[in-house]
Chain A
Amino acid sequence: MNLSAQPGPNALVIHVNEDRIDAAGAIQFKERMRELVAGSEPRVLLDLSQVAFLDSSGLGAVVAVLKMMGPDRKLELAGLTHTVEKVFRLTRMDTIFCIHHNLPEGLSRAS
């Protein structure tokens, strides 16, 4: 699971350099995120623009990361592709996350 972290002005940006977060990769995603957000600043922006597909295991892993970060930090999402957006919307998980249209929009909004 190829993820890369990049400190931004008001958030730690984590890029998912994979085309899918599915049942075959969900555990690795969660483990890699755990390493990257350890001791991170309060706001993490997850760039999903390269992820064309996410299944229920992938969605569960993103929710698990949100919970792992605890109440004092924020996990926000940016750049959801069509199918990924559909999974978040149908499961109503779009109501839980702050979702930005794209990365620049996410970075321009300090929250």
Chain B
Amino acid sequence: MQAESPDFPGRVKTEDTGQDAARIVIASDPMAVRQGLAALFESLLLRRLDDANRGKAEIVLAEALNNIVEHAYADGSGEIELTIRLNSRGLNCRIVDQGAPMPKGALPRGQLAPADDLPEGGFGWYLIRTLSEDLSYSRIEGQNQLTFRLTTEQSPA
């Protein structure tokens, strides 16, 4: 099944790629990220998660996608492909783009500035690193690939 966002035709494509997987392809802009996430979280796959796990997934996916828009595609535009697969170990996520590589080929450490300094940024990688497992980045044939897993714990009753 494919669907296109009515407001941004052609800018968000979603696909249910089977019972346990879903994929979105979006243009590299913040509005497409918002709409792509909305479409993804409407999918049958993500409706299977409880609210806490959906919230966690939305935080991490939004940060990862917006980082690509702001940094990898800072000097241009392109597409971002997000594939998610749900299994017993959690939600396995893979994000691919053709933007600029990570500086020095590595992910930012994502350390928080002291709260008292009132930082207005630098939260993104901290949130990704705190909430995800098995975070990995590679640059292959002009593509960035970021993979991570979000454990789907049962919330305590």
A interface residues, Cβ below 8 angstroms from B:
20, 22-24, 53, 55-57, 59-61, 63-64, 66-67, 82-83, 86-87, 90-93, 95-96
Contacts and interface: CB of A to CB of B under 8 A. Distances in A.
A56 B63 contact: yes
A24 B33 contact: yes
Given A60-B121, A96-B118, A23 B127 contact: no
Interface of A is mostly: helix
Interface in B19-64: 29-31, 33-34, 51-52, 55-56, 58-59, 62-63
A66 B118 contact: yes
B55 A83 contact: yes
Interface of B: 29-31, 33-34, 51-52, 55-56, 58-59, 62-63, 66, 69-70, 112, 115-116, 118-121, 123-124, 126-127, 130-131
B115 A96 contact: yes
A20 B69 CA distance: 18
Contacts of B127: 56, 87, 90-91
A53 B58 CA distance: 8
A91 B69 contact: no
Given A56-B127, A57-B66, A24 B118 contact: no
Nearest to B54: A83
A86 B112 CA distance: 15
Given A56-B121, A92-B115, A83 B33 contact: no
Given A24-B33, A55-B59, A90 B130 contact: yes
A7 B51 CA distance: 34
A82 B62 CA distance: 16
A81 to B, nearest CB: 9
Given A22-B62, A96-B116, A96-B118, 7 more contacts: A22-B66, A53-B55, A53-B58, A55-B59, A56-B121, A57-B121, A87-B127
